[in-house]
């Protein structure tokens, strides 16, 4: 019989706040974290807005020397992990360290460090390139650094599946815990790609919103006038553990994670499969593995990127899962406020789904002003909604045709 798996801690660093409480407060208030980009000069760029993390100082948490040896995505992931550990009341000791695993994903990794050092190479020559370039740019380094910081010696790796990375990390952690290969896993995602080459690259493939004159209204999932996603940065890490481990530690389960579905579109490098076929299968697999029926799902945190095809096909995918019941299911895209955190988005949205269940509050989808006739579901427009949620899904889909869906359930003894 597989182990039951619960969430006992959450850590968040996001465009809405530097911890889980401020992020949740601003999310439920319907505030946007999108603003003009401040991290570099955007003259000449088609997109000049993003959802940046403001006021973040990693040195205050990990020390100045260590912070200088971390790319920004690693800094964000490390600080989120430290908050999650504190929230869970977890102590990693010589007695349990081999049973504590770290799985913090990143879709892109240290692109800021890489781009800066390419500049150094061009202007100052190969001898001036930093010896920390490689260990700072590797996508697995948030996982590696957190393992070193905590002394955690269990399974340690980073999934890379574009914008599904964070969700896949949590799904992989679920399976590791269910099989008994670890007692505790810190799982999640971290991303920091708001830099000249990052924005230019997404502009080149016409993925980003160019609504520069209205930053806070730019991310508008399921709206008829949506024109692309808003790039964001940040990290979210959750402490997952077997129920036996949580009970033994005296930890308080926030929710139970009960299912994970992963599929491929095998369709196109950037576009989702027509009618959301792959996304629909991922949701169905997650629900089946959870031992649930579709009519038991009381909330869906949608991938909801604010791109024309994603929102249309995700809506069709949900109709394929829930049939006529789909119109009663509350849905929201919290990317309308946080922007799209790329490889960290699935982790942040899993954390948000956990909070939605435990706090009995459904976050809103803001900026939904002009309904798209092809997106006609209950997206919880503008205002958060109170209500008990017994089971929920969180969806993440990525370039390359990756689809991941996570199923959560209210914890019952």
Cβ atoms within 10 Å of 328's Cβ, excluding its own: 11
Query: Is 238 within 8 Å of 166 (Cβ atoms)?
Result: no
Are 234 and 193 contacting, i.e. CB atoms less than 8 angstroms apart? no
- Relative to beta strand 361-362, strand 100-105 is unpaired
* DSSP character at residue 209: -
Nearest to 194 by CA among 40, 23, 17: 40
Catalytic residue among 163, 195, 205, 375: 163
Half-sphere exposure of 349 (CA within 13 A, CB side): 41
Count helices and strands in the chain by DSSP H and E runs: 14, 13
Between CA 183 and CA 161 the distance in angstroms is 25
Residue 368 buriedness (CB in 10 A; 0-12 / 13-18 / 19+):
buried
Smallest CA-to-CA distance from 243 within 59, 97, 56, 412 is with 412
163 is catalytic: yes
- How far is 209 from 229, CA to CA, in rounded Å? 5
Looking at the annotation, which residues are catalytic?
163
């Amino acid at each position: 019989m597989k182990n039951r798996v619960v969430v006992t801690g959450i850590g968040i660093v996001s465009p809405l706040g530097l911890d889980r409480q401020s992020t949740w407060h601003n999310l439920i208030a319907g505030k946007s974290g999108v603003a003009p980009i401040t991290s570099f000069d955007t003259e000449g760029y088609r997109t000049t807005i993003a959802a940046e993390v403001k006021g973040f100082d990693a040195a205050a948490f990990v020390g100045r020397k260590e912070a200088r040896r971390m790319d920004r995505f690693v800094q964000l992931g490390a600080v989120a992990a430290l908050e999650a550990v504190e929230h869970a009341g977890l102590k990693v000791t010589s007695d349990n360290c081999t049973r504590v695993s770290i799985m913090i994903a990143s879709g892109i990794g240290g692109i800021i460090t890489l781009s800066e050092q390419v500049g150094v190479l061009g202007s100052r020559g190969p001898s001036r390139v930093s010896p920390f370039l490689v260990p700072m740019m590797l996508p697995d380094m948030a996982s590696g650094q957190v393992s070193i910081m905590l002394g955690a010696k269990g399974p340690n790796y980073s999934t890379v599946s574009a914008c599904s990375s964070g969700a896949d990390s949590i799904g992989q952690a679920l399976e590791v815990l269910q099989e008994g290969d670890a007692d505790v896993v810190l799982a999640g995602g971290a991303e920091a790609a708001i830099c000249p080459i990052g924005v230019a690259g997404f502009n080149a493939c016409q993925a980003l919103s160019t609504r520069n004159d209205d930053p806070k209204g730019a991310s508008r999932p399921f709206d008829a006038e949506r024109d692309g996603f808003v790039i964001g940065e940040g990290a979210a890490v959750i402490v997952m553990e077997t129920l036996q481990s949580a009970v033994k530690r005296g930890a308080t389960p926030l929710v139970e994670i009960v299912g994970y579905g992963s599929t491929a579109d095998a369709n196109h490098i950037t576009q989702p499969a027509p009618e959301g076929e792959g996304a629909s299968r991922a949701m169905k697999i997650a629900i089946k593995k959870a031992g649930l029926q579709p009519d038991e799902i009381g909330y869906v945190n949608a991938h909801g990127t604010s791109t024309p095809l994603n929102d249309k096909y995700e809506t069709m995918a949900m109709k394929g899962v829930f049939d006529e019941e789909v119109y009663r299911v509350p849905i929201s895209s919290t990317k309308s406020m946080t922007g799209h955190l790329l490889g960290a988005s699935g982790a942040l949205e899993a954390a948000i789904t956990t909070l939605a269940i435990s706090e009995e509050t459904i976050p809103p989808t803001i900026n939904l002003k002009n309904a798209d006739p092809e997106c006609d579901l209950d997206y919880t427009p503008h205002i958060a909604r109170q209500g008990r949620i017994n089971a929920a899904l969180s969806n993440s889909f990525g370039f390359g045709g990756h689809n991941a869906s996570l199923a959560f359930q209210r914890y019952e003894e």
